[in-house]
Amino acid sequence: MDGGFSGVDFFKTVIDWFAIVVEVVLRPQGAKGFVLLPRRWVVERTYGWLHWCRRLNVDYERLPESSETLIHIAMIRIMLRRLA
């Protein structure tokens, strides 16, 4: 999320619908240059894995459900390759 984002309604909706807590990690105020943010690398690494699937590089699907299904298939493929 963007550092200027202050969507209280967003957080309330996520908590109400999904029963999870969203934590916003902001950049330290006095920092200059590259700063490693905690746990952000996990999300970026996962996106990197998903982009190995050519179909997910460009959004060809008409329905969001189709895109979601392809993401599930890609993650299943990644997990199966790690088990083998």
The domain limits of the chain are: 8-83
At residue 27, the pLDDT reads: 82
Q: Which residues of the chain, if any, have pLDDT below 50? A: 1
pLDDT for position 80: 93
Read off the pTM.
0.53
Specify the pLDDT at position 76.
Answer: 93
**Separation in Å, CA 29 to CA 33, 41, 75, 79:** 12, 20, 36, 38
Cα 58 from Cα 71, distance rounded (Å): 12
**DSSP, residue by residue, 12-48:** HHHHHHH-------PPPTT--S--PPTTHHHHHHHHH
Alpha carbon 52 to its chain centroid, in Å, reads 15
